[in-house]
Structure 1
């Protein structure tokens, strides 16, 4: 049998900040070292909206010889670019994704895709209309460890899952570490713990209690209750806890039962205070026959174990996963591989994060912000778009 022809995806990198650097650095790694042979990534262009000098520094730092631009309009107009990675602040995602879609580019946009669900719906419809691929860059979903855990839930390894507890908290000295201008707490940049970190906690909740069901059985939470602490200097949230009830269980959708989840994030207390997981797992996935415990951080876990319960006896079993993240890498290339495979296959969305699920998570965050009293400026929350603004 002839070997499958390799597909090269040509990327345009929109922004030159830390997250864009990390993603691009991962893109440049050899896919065969992680067992990927059918897709390959090419960095075709990079752009900073603030200066040509920032673009040049970015290219030099990564030893790239591709096209460099000082505007995003030039980047999306480049005919050598197939897909655009959007690494700009949350506040600008809606505008920048639309800019790329209107120029006929496939898009991978950093999480959250947009500030609210209405914006996401508009972008999905635009991608559908133009037959372009669109994905939110929740890289955690595509890590081999995450996929392994989701498969075990589907297989019924811990029985019927009824509860998930997920925490993504940093434990920083907020005033000193973030101040008031940093995107983490700046409302003008759609800052706050929920959109930046809490989305990872919600990701674990949804991929365990929602994504593990057949698509026809997936249902959004029937109840959402949120508590939010707003930063006294900026008004963005520095702590958010969300209690969710799902009308189903997983993997067998037992009609008489429901499942619950707690998704937490906090900037002042840490999930893992000593950096050695002494405080316990960042994620607990609890079923009728045991539980899966995942060591943090929730966005990039590298270890988990299963506690199985039978005949009153509990056994702790460490789980080993092939293709852990090598030292020095971040692990973002697995989501990039998914984008390339989907584009190659002509798909508009990824099975790993369908548009409906992405929107359902944004709707939970919308409700949490409503209950917590967190609203962003209309210029950020709105759905008006103009390529000229």
Structure 2
């Protein structure tokens, strides 16, 4: 067969596009039938299944042998799955606003762009909106690779009853922006975390400029839109969203800065899906309050060692409202209903003052 012309290649692409569109339509019809079956069997059926979505995305990545990168192929299917899920149950996701924050970016990365979003004024508000049923799920930051744990999120996990049902990671790249880059800068607005993450760069480039902390970087971008001599540290999305001009690109002090976000809901992830308790590619998070005695931390860790369970994270955090008392946020591999995990958690509960299993959930795929 001879070399095809540009016109012939485009005709072939058009044919493939029609086939792809038809197949996506067929998938949507099957999803609609799944919704009918769920509704007929149980009015309280949960339509969003993070463990199922994670398995589908992992399978897509595993079988990808195309010119597209694994993550790009998975992202395409993420959007297809999001649109199909909206046929079953349109989701409303609470995030830390205003529009253009990294938290909103995390929400859309995890759920896809076919969800509705509810911007909240604080991390506390996200929890409350989910608790009250105004949002199906909430997205909150839990830790940053440069600055560590987000204390406000840990406090709310301790005091509220929501469950963790997923996680998502976002690469954090900070842009310095203003309404008019030709004007001198007298003040820079940003979230306190962003100011910390860009501290060295700011000291070198704007040593005498006033730094003001605000609730979010997106709010900072919104403020400087109408303030002469003001600049903001915010995301690429906020730069375009608020019509600002870039002064400097990627000003974070450390490359590879990543924030991990949690997906919060009211339901635990079921173990009924294909023996998830034994084949689960995920983690379990728990909060533990130990006795104020010598050796109690060693006693806490021993059951996990005895059962051969890998501990991914162990973080100490002050107990809200209690002076010089601490809780531990722990992430372990495996599902809480796995036999060995259950044995370890039962033994831990007998050795500590309090243990709260926050949820078992898939490790972030995208």
TM-score where L is the length of structure 1: 0.25
Greater fraction of residues in helix: 2
TM-score where L is the length of structure 2: 0.26
Name which one, 1 or 2, has greater alpha-carbon Rg: 2
